[in-house]
Structure 1
């Protein structure tokens, strides 16, 4: 496969969010906004909005496999981002297809814990995720509750407690882990830990006061995959994606979407003056 494709193509494998703020929809927006071409494989259809999830309809595994075959047999996919996988069977199916097609880069956002704290995956499915899919990844991007679920340790309440997950997360076997600290809401900054085999790098950004943070995890992991597809090394891709999601959150209140937790502003750059067309340039005079 040609990694240096003229068009960096990124595949997102995830669930659909009818409200448009997370899942497949957020991934496609993030991949597009950061300069890559997005294609998708849908694993579940959710009925949701800014107020919450009302229903989930898993896509039959056979059709998930057909989608994967259709994409990989035609498109030069350089990077894959994996999000919501509903159960052990679909995890096995996706892992098998990724083993078959061997995309150069794999980023897994282990969507396992709801905002309420409830597990979205059964313990057996978490075990399947850890043994089949996560070891294949170049990077996994758990938040703190997901990091706790993967390690069996308590959910960290401080940055010091975050570091206690490092050794256990390394044992998963993937190339690197980005442990996201956004849940530490008492901290003035939003700090993440990029955990490499022999080092840990702290990524810091100012915490932004907004309730419009729906889809931040999806967006960040999709942006990382996008930058990897464009030729960035892992650390550079993570740093660039961290800058992107921070700005998307900072501009989130420019949008007025729904009555609950609205989305981040994926296309905030389009609202900046230098990105707006000069209408004079579009008018051809007959003089």
Structure 2
């Protein structure tokens, strides 16, 4: 059985973060492990509170996993402080796991900034260089690149800018585009577009977590980057089309729709 590790925050409502990652990994018939970086009090209406894990304890969780059940791939989500980011980066250098997918959670769906300037600098300079793939959405790509994105051409400009500070694979997610949901992969000067229909479903809580975890799962099997992204996009599309409707706000996906 392939083993996938999620390093992220906990979502008590079960729609995003560690919970979404574990459901996604399980739906892919793989063994899920977790390093919890923070507890969040949240639901479909928003985040009410965050309690960060002590950096030393994040490191201890990583030691326990890496020295016993070594993962075939790693997904990284919410990492909110420079000290936590630094510990994770140090452990990744020490243990050298394959296939690290970083979902740079910087900006909330409502547009609120989730990282301090210091934490963002640590993310860009210490953690991002360890990643095989980064998966920013449009607001996050804007924050990293400094490019205002309104269309697909702007996405390409932003990808080139990001590549000046990060040499790995860049997937800019197009879910915030007005008319489409096309994602852009930029590798070594090559643009690859993954077209996606815009699904009429307001329940999108945890879509970014789900996509990045699914990509990590496919990379764990040995699939190449483009195949992994396309299969993950197919999985996410199916979960959105399932039309699960829970909660009073932007609800979660049905990660088990295909089981």
Which category describes the TM-score, using the shorter chain as reference length?
over 0.9
Q: Give the SS at the match of 2:143.
A: helix
> How many Å separate the matches in 1 of 2:12 and 2:155?
33
Structure 1 gap ranges (5+): 1-6, 271-287
* Distance apart, 1:117 and its partner CA: 1.2
* Counterpart for residue 181 of structure 1: 174
Task: Tell whether 2:231 aligns with 1:237.
Answer: no
Structure 2 gap ranges (5+): none
Q: Which range moves more in the overlay, 115-124 or 135-144?
A: 115-124
> How many Å separate the matches in 2 of 1:41 and 1:195?
29
> How many Å separate the matches in 2 of 1:209 and 1:102?
41
Task: Tell whether 2:64 aligns with 1:70.
Answer: yes
Q: Give the SS at the match of 1:178.
A: strand
For residues 196-207 of structure 1, what are the structure 2 equivalents within 5 Å?
A: 196-207=187-198
* Distance apart, 1:18 and its partner CA: 0.4
Q: Which range moves more in the overlay, 88-97 or 145-154?
A: 145-154
> How many Å separate the matches in 1 of 2:33 and 2:220?
13
Q: Give the SS at the match of 2:215.
A: helix
Cα deviations across residues 57-98 of structure 1 (Å, max 9, x unaligned)?
001111111111111110021100000001111111100011
Q: Give the SS at the match of 2:181.
A: strand
* Distance apart, 1:196 and its partner CA: 0.6
Task: Tell whether 2:44 aligns with 1:50.
Answer: yes
For residues 23-62 of structure 1, what are the structure 2 equivalents within 5 Å?
A: 23-62=17-56
Asked if 2 retains the 8 angstrom alpha-carbon contact of 1:46 and 1:53, the reply is yes
* Distance apart, 1:160 and its partner CA: 2.1
Task: Tell whether 2:255 aligns with 1:261.
Answer: no
* TM-score, normalization by structure 1: 0.88
Asked if 2 retains the 8 angstrom alpha-carbon contact of 1:137 and 1:174, the reply is no
Q: Larger Cα Rg: Structure 1 or Structure 2?
A: 1
* Counterpart for residue 163 of structure 1: 156
How many residues were matched structurally?
259
For residues 262-281 of structure 1, what are the structure 2 equivalents within 5 Å?
A: 262-270=251-259
